[in-house]
């Protein structure tokens, strides 16, 4: 029977070590920027594929999860091309997720978001409900930069150590749309990934450029909780046919 440890080992995650500084950033600050997870060829392939899907799906794009004014959204990307396998099965990101969970987890969802020029602002939020005091990490999210994330293009902002606070952001902040005194911007070039404890407060900022700000959002959830995209419901036969046993375990479709 497949186990979490076996899955991590067979997908290559068990061999990835993080420095003490990287571990401190991830565990104490709540996030870690990992450059060059994707090379230029992989980034180009992903850009091409998401643009194809946006063109085909049109106004229905993203409906499996939700749509958002001022952005283009996609959802259920596990079933929309094997090019995305390099994302949700990436060994370095899985290793980072394991550092935060330290218990069995599975894929939560794999979506895409493109903040349109002049748009993309989000209030500070967490990707989980109100956090109970001493509640462990329930969701780990990752932002895969397909375009440059800068102050001008609308990089994601995150508040370090906010994942340690009980309650919800509005318990501490009067206006969640304003800049937070402690927030930092996740800056990076295409191929950079930010992994973060999804209890941390974060949000997109306005894309002030005339360019795309495309990203993939790949999240994992404690294995005891439901997925955002129920893979047992959505899994296509052609997807299942290409999946190894460890991949099926990660999707929870064994």
> What pLDDT, on a 0 to 100 scale, did the predictor assign at position 97?
98
> How many of the other CB atoms lie within 10 Å of CB of 102?
11
> What pLDDT, on a 0 to 100 scale, did the predictor assign at position 91?
98
> What pLDDT, on a 0 to 100 scale, did the predictor assign at position 1?
83
> What pLDDT, on a 0 to 100 scale, did the predictor assign at position 254?
82
> What pLDDT, on a 0 to 100 scale, did the predictor assign at position 165?
98
Q: Are 180 and 169 in contact (CB under 8 A)?
A: no
Say which CATH superfamily domain 4-251 falls into: q2cbj1_9rhob like domain (2.60.120.620)
Residue spans per domain, the chain: 4-251
Nearest to residue 149, comparing CAs of 89, 212, 106? 212
In this structure, are strands 202-204 and 193-197 parallel, antiparallel, or unpaired?
unpaired
> What pLDDT, on a 0 to 100 scale, did the predictor assign at position 27?
97
Would you give per-residue pLDDT tens digits along the chain (254 residues)? 899 999 999 999 998 999 999 999 999 999 999 999 999 999 999 999 999 999 999 999 999 999 999 999 999 999 999 999 999 999 999 999 999 999 999 999 999 999 999 999 999 999 998 999 999 999 999 999 999 999 999 999 999 999 999 999 999 999 999 999 999 999 999 999 999 999 999 999 999 999 999 999 999 999 999 999 999 999 999 999 999 999 999 999 98
């Amino acid at each position: 029977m497949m186990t979490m440890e076996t899955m991590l080992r067979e997908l290559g995650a068990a061999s990835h070590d993080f420095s003490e500084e990287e571990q401190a950033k991830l565990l104490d600050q709540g996030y870690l920027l990992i450059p060059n997870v994707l090379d230029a060829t992989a980034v180009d392939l992903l850009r091409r594929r998401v643009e194809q899907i946006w063109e085909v799906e049109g106004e229905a794009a993203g409906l499996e999860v939700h749509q958002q004014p001022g952005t283009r959204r996609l959802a259920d990307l596990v079933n929309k091309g094997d090019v995305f396998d390099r994302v949700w099965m990436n060994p370095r990101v899985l290793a980072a997720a394991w550092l935060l969970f330290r218990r069995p987890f599975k894929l939560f969802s794999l979506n895409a978001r493109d903040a349109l020029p002049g748009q993309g602002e989000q209030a500070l939020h967490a990707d989980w409900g109100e956090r109970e005091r001493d509640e462990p990490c329930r969701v780990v999210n990752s932002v895969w930069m397909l375009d440059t994330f800068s102050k001008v293009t609308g990089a994601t902002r995150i508040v370090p150590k906010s994942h340690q606070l009980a309650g919800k952001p509005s318990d501490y902040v009067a206006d969640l749309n304003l800049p937070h005194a402690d927030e930092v911007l996740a800056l990076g070039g295409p191929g950079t990934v930010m992994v973060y404890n999804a209890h941390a407060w974060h949000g997109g900022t306005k894309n002030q450029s005339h360019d795309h700000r495309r990203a993939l959002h790949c999240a994992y959830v404690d294995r005891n909780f439901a997925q955002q995209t129920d893979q047992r419901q959505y899994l296509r036969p052609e997807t299942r046919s290409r999946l190894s046993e460890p991949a099926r375990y990660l999707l929870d479709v064994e």
